[in-house]
Amino acid sequence: MQLTIDDLPAAIRDAKRALRADLPGYAATFRELEGDIARQVDVIRRAHAHGRDVIPVVPFADIAGGTVDPRAIAAIRTHGAVVIRGVFDPRQARDWNDEIGAYLDANRFTDRLHARAEDRYFGNLASGKPQIYGVYWSKPQVAARQSPALTRARVFLNRLWRHADGGRTHFDPDQVPAYADRIRRRPPGSTSLGLSPHVDGGSVERWLGANFRQVYRHVLAGRWRDYDPFDAAFRPDVEEIPSPAVCSMFRTFQGWTALTPQGPGDGTLQLIPVANAMAYVVLRALQDDVADDDLCGARPGRALSIRPEWHALLLDALVPIPHMEPGDAVFWHGDVVHAVEDAHRGSGDSNVMYIAAAPGCAKNDAYLQRQRAAFLRGESPPDFPADHFEVEFDGRGGEGDLTALGRSQMGFGAGV
């Protein structure tokens, strides 16, 4: 599902005119919401200043045993993020890290980078691009995506959403389609390789797309307290502007799995752990100090930047994730603002596999068909730059490496 806009400035002006007309008290509503966000930001800043982890931490054993503390679940819904400890045995994660390194070296990956396709998705982020590799089909990546443990963790995450209401099912939380993504391998000492604060999964579409407006319907009607970031209604139906590197799947959570130890200062992930922050971003763009043809700098086909000139309040809550050990995984809601530290001041590589949580729905089924074809040919998945490095790689994961669960998650149904 794609959204096409011929005249962006005119479309923005028309959208803002209509949204303001539907919410005459947009300024007063924003001030109320701003007060709520400010309170959340203050709590986060105080906790971080006292050395307390803000991001909820859940042992995978609790997920496997169905014994997750209800307070932890409430915290995940408040903060929109979670660290899951011990999804994989640390030795397994370290072995995967070594195997990926050998896979890259054996196939002379760095020698091929000079001819890579340009990834423009992060083109307007101040800090540029971290060391993210366009590799999707190494055997460790295939194995991790289809693992029963990570599948169970992602079902748990899917089920945090309100996935059915009013007789309508928005998605199947127990189906976990595989979304093939990249890897990060960041050596110590690297600088100016981060990503400034941003949100994936739609930029100008959040104001211009009809289904995106439905996602934020309570906010745009002035009832921001009724907005639930975990309400799945309309989420799987949003339309994105076509771009070579914008996610075409509906993900309940973005995420990655650590292959090496890493933590604050190691050039790794930062979050603004406020689950309803997008309500603030949406209403901020409607305020009178923003030009009528501007949405606080949002650009089509790019990540949605969170900027100090417009969103300074949110940026005060930017905190690092807790220390991660190999085999731990971190997940964050698709509307949660995130960033990557500019400098890696640690002593070891900060390496991860990007593996998100996604549910079963028509949108994701459609993407699986295109992704499956790329997998069989060893090509880059449809959402990513068409480098196709792995077509000629030795040791690439293939159909024979899929378990029955993996086949299902890759869309290999009966007769496929």
DSSP 105-129: HHTTHHHHGGGPPP--TTTT-TT--
Give a yes or no: residue 410 inside a domain.
no
Contact predicate 327/88, CB 8 Å:
yes
Q: What is the pTM of this model?
A: 0.95
Residue ranges making up the domain that contains 374: 8-397
Give a yes or no: residue 149 inside a domain.
yes
Give a yes or no: residue 62 inside a domain.
yes
DSSP 323: P
Tell me the per-residue pLDDT of 20-48, one tens digit each, with 9 for 90 and over.
999 999 999 999 999 999 999 999 999 99
What the block records as the tokens of 379 is: 């090509």
Q: What is the pLDDT of residue 289?
A: 98
Give a yes or no: residue 38 inside a domain.
yes
DSSP 322: P
Q: CA 299 → CA 17, 61, 121, 282, distances in Å?
A: 19, 42, 10, 14
Task: For residue 167, count other CB atoms closer than 10 A to its CB.
Answer: 5
Question: What's the total number of domains in the chain?
Answer: 1
Give a yes or no: residue 338 inside a domain.
yes
Cα(287)–Cα(67) distance, integer angstroms: 45
Residue type, 110: T
Give a yes or no: residue 408 inside a domain.
no
Outline where 162-276 has alpha helix (H): 205-208, 210-215, 217-220
Q: What is the pLDDT of residue 319?
A: 98
Q: What is the pLDDT of residue 3?
A: 83
Q: What is the pLDDT of residue 131?
A: 84
User: What angle is formed at CA 314 by the lines to CA 257 and CA 346, rounded to 5 degrees?
Assistant: 40
- Contacts of range 90-96, beta carbons closer than 8 Å, 24 or more positions apart: 90/325, 90/326, 90/327, 92/327, 93/257, 93/258, 93/259, 93/326, 93/327, 94/259, 94/260, 94/326, 95/140, 96/140, 96/143, 96/144, 96/259, 96/353
Q: What is the pLDDT of residue 42?
A: 98
CATH number for the domain spanning 326: value is 2.60.120.330
Give a yes or no: residue 294 inside a domain.
yes
CA 122 from chain centre, in angstroms, equals 14
Q: What is the pLDDT of residue 113?
A: 74
Give a yes or no: residue 412 inside a domain.
no
Q: What is the pLDDT of residue 416?
A: 57
Quote the mean pLDDT of the chain. Answer: 94
Q: What is the pLDDT of residue 190?
A: 81
Q: What are the pLDDT tens digits along the chain (416 aa)?
A: 678 888 999 999 999 999 999 999 999 999 999 999 999 999 999 999 999 999 999 999 999 999 999 999 999 999 999 999 999 999 999 999 999 999 999 999 988 876 565 555 454 555 544 488 999 999 999 999 999 999 999 999 999 999 999 889 999 999 999 999 999 999 888 875 578 999 998 999 999 999 999 999 999 999 999 999 999 999 999 998 888 657 899 999 999 999 999 999 999 899 999 999 999 999 999 999 999 999 999 999 899 999 999 999 999 999 999 999 999 999 999 999 999 998 888 889 999 999 999 999 999 999 999 999 999 999 999 999 899 999 999 999 999 999 999 999 999 975 55
